Amino acid sequence: MTQAGAAMTRLPINGESRTFAVQLMRDLVVPTFVLDATGHVLIWNNALAKLTGITAEHVIGTRNHWQGFYKQERPCLADLVLEGNFKAEDWYAEVRSSSKRERRISAENWCNLPRSRSSRYLAIDAGPIFSDKGELLAVVETLRDITEQKRAEDELVRLAHLDGLTGIANRRSFDRHLKTHWDAATKTGEPLSILLIDIDHFKSFNDSLGHQAGDECLRDLAKLLASCLVSPEDMAARYGGEEFAIVLPSPDADGACIVAERIRSAIRRLAIGHPASPTSSFVSVSIGTASVRSFQKSVDKLIALADGALYLAKRDGRNQVIQA
């Protein structure tokens, strides 16, 4: 609730004070509407009319205030306060605070404004107005358009989980995703496999063709890895340097090897020239795979198994898949 809105909850709703409160709400730069105790619109201020594209004349005296924010009828925050329903999380993307004692709710939500044909992310506050005798007279709802702030925050979150060069998941995202599926697999017995992928002789590639070519190679391989994923729960990540990692929540050990071999062959078919490689005239990769087994005590053990298999693949000639 804004300071102005909070102050008005203490004003006696009669005489000059009532006239002042009504005029203040109408002229507020913050989009605001007021419902009476029966849920009918008392005030729909100019700022809200500008935001929603719906004039006060269209909604005053009706219960159609939801039309300003949603395509289908559903409760607004003010309705929940009137009903004494403080489970706003059933209707709103984020509930910042909810006080049954004070009968106030603060929340945030994406609203598809039908009249203005735009989607806006709104910070919403709703609280009651009481008479001097403590009777509920009305509920005030104020709204702030924080769409650009929300988009900027979402972009920061997205970037924090992506590798800046390749655009796929970074090591932090991989670790979190793997831990989530490790916990599920060890409880349910469902399969879980990982692949560790290393570009063969990548230092020589950079030395002979330059770091720009090396960056382009990393981007091309990252794009290919992402295209090889089948399940929405699969994840390809840049593990570090010239290493990539893949989480496969569904395939068992044999299935993981099939996926790994398919990836190895697809990278070979990209035919990225590697004149400095003693293994192949084109870029190749070595892959180690590991799958959840009953004796493994931690996700770190799973990674260590895959890393050991990758080491063997590199030691024994590279350009191959080794299963732990």
User: For residue 86, what is the enclosing H or E element?
Assistant: none
Identify whether 16 is a catalytic site residue: no
- Report the alpha-carbon distance of residue 151 to residue 228 in Å, rounded: 30
In the block, tokens 């260590």 appear at: 304
For 246, residues 6+ apart whose C-beta sits below 8 A from its C-beta are 194, 195, 197, 225, 229, 234, 235, 236, 237, 259, 263
- Report the alpha-carbon distance of residue 138 to residue 5 in Å, rounded: 12
Cα-to-chain-centroid distance, residue 119 = 17
Q: Output the CA torsion 37→19→126→35 (10° steps).
A: 30
Catalytic site residue from 16, 153, 242, 243: 242
The sign of the dihedral angle between the CA atoms of 158, 163, 168, 173 is negative
- Report the alpha-carbon distance of residue 182 to residue 132 in Å, rounded: 59
Measured in residues, the chain has a length of: 324
How many other CB atoms sit within 10 Å of the CB of residue 312?
15
Q: In sequence order, what DSSP letters do the residues of 238-296 get, joined into one string?
A: EEETTEEEEEESS--HHHHHHHHHHHHHHHHHH--B-TT-SS-SB--EEEEEEE--TT-
Residues labelled catalytic: 242
